[in-house]
Amino acid sequence: MVLPILVQVLLPTHPLKSRSLALQIFCRFMVRWVSPEMANTPFKDLNGFLRSVGDPFQFSLPDGLTTVTADYQPMVAAVTLIEFASLDLWRSHLRHLNFTSCEEFLSTREGRGTALRCMFDTVASTWSEFLCTPVKIITAIRHLEELQCLNTAEVVILWAWTVGVVNPVDYDDWRSIECETLNFYRTHGIERLTALLQHAPDTTAGVSHMKFLLMRYRGPPCRVGSVRRPVQVMEGLRDFGTRDYVDLHISWVCQLRRLYHLFGYDPVTWREIANVREEGEAKNALGQSVAPVQFVDWACDYP
């Protein structure tokens, strides 16, 4: 019932000029758009719907208003469209036009950071199935590549490596993500690794992030419960005060090591590249010959 009305109101030519309000409704219905009932919607209606959604960063305002309603965040709509790229029901209806402004926004470090935070808020509080499996992650990356939305595809790669929706001890799942990551940067330029370097996991986990991972994994995010943790690690993390924080941070150390080895770097070389400030210098450093080592199976072998 909502769909045909929303299609009309989304159009910039609608007399009420309420596109921003319609986009806000589009965001609030995000979970409904992927419900089983949507499978009964005719192909032409789904196609027309996404054509009306268009570029969610673009909207018209009623006369006298100069800013969009504070309740509408374009990145939330873009996150919904990113999920659509992973789903059979919606994927074929997406167009490059749906991501035109998003591509520009995600070309900056600030934009990518905003997108990752928005994606995490979505999966943690609204949509637990958002890009939650390697199959969905890889499907989204490949379709966004087909649409020539490389910045958006790269943010999905960053999502896989930074948020932890895929458990670090699921070897087969991670091997598929590693292969996809390696293929992406080999195909589109190793210099693009700068973005991955900027957003790789660090040691600043928030409480909400830790709770999310504990619930998702139904336990600690790594198998270190019976392992005697190094004294340096315990001293460095004792301020966090919980065993869960220790396990989480050790898990991130191991995931970073996985990333180092994937591209043939040791941790010291990786840090040196990450500290390069100028984009041109970063491109030269990352353009050197990279010989990835064989894929390594480990749970958490700190250090």
Above 90 in pLDDT, residue 282? no
d(Cα 175, Cα 71) in Å, to the nearest integer?
A: 40
Looking at residue 149, its pLDDT comes to 98
Angle in degrees, 0-180, between the axes of helices 279-286 and 267-274, rounded to the nearest 10 = 150
Above 80 in pLDDT, residue 75? yes
Q: pLDDT per residue over 135-194, tens digit each?
A: 999 999 999 999 999 999 999 999 998 887 887 778 889 899 999 999 999 899 888 888
Average pLDDT, the chain: 78
CA 295 vs. chain centroid, Å, equals 23
**CA-based R_g, the chain, Å:** 21
Please give the model's pTM, rounded to 2 decimal places. 0.81
- The token pair that represents 273 in the structure block: 């590249």
Q: 89 and 44 in contact (C-beta within 8 Å)? A: no
d(Cα 18, Cα 125) in Å, to the nearest integer?
A: 27
Catalogue the long-range contacts made by 110-118 (C-beta closer than 8 Å, 24 or more residues apart).
112/154, 112/155, 112/158, 112/195, 112/198, 112/199, 113/199, 114/75, 115/75, 115/78, 115/79, 115/155, 116/155, 116/158, 116/159, 116/162, 116/163, 116/199, 118/73, 118/75, 118/76, 118/79
Q: pLDDT per residue over 92-138, tens digit each?
A: 999 999 999 999 999 999 999 999 999 999 998 888 889 999 999 99
d(Cα 83, Cα 119) in Å, to the nearest integer?
A: 10
CA dihedral 260, 266, 269, 275 (to 10 degrees): 40
Q: 205 and 245 in contact (C-beta within 8 Å)? A: yes
Q: Indicate the domain borders of the chain.
A: 2-165, 203-303
Q: 223 and 300 in contact (C-beta within 8 Å)? A: yes
Confidence of residue 296 (pLDDT cuts 50, 70, 90): very low
Q: pLDDT per residue over 230-255, tens digit each?
A: 444 434 444 444 566 666 677 777 77
